[in-house]
Amino acid sequence: MVRRSEAFLWVYFGAASLLSFFVAQELWMFGRRGILLVSLGFLNCFLAGLILGRNARDRRTVVFVILGLVFGQLWAIETAFTFLFWSLKGFAP
């Protein structure tokens, strides 16, 4: 049985992941988008740490946390791969 506090952590984690994805995709014209994305990323990682710290680390919990982090931080993964490919043959800005 999932305790109520753990259920709220999962809800907040899912909401932070969805909000981060939404901000990255839809608010591209917003001037402070980077600050908002970084703060949502820290919140997402903090909630993931709380979930993994409070729950037993079974395979299902770890898989869902990793999927939530990848979905929520897709903008950071895309940016990292873009900078990686740019720097391969001297095309970095």
- Which tokens is 2 given? 């999932």
Q: Is the pTM of this model over 0.95?
A: no
- Asked if residue 59 belongs to a domain, the reply is yes
The tally of domains found in the chain comes to: 1
Q: What is the pLDDT of residue 27?
A: 82
**Angstrom distance (rounded) from CA 58 to CA 65:** 11
pLDDT, tens digit (0-9, with 9 covering 90-100), for 42-79? 999 999 999 988 877 789 889 999 999 999 998 889 88
pLDDT over 60 at 80, yes or no: yes
- Asked if residue 93 belongs to a domain, the reply is no
Range of the structural domain that residue 60 is part of: 4-88
Q: What is the pLDDT of residue 33?
A: 84
- Asked if residue 35 belongs to a domain, the reply is yes
Q: What is the CA radius of gyration of the chain?
A: 16
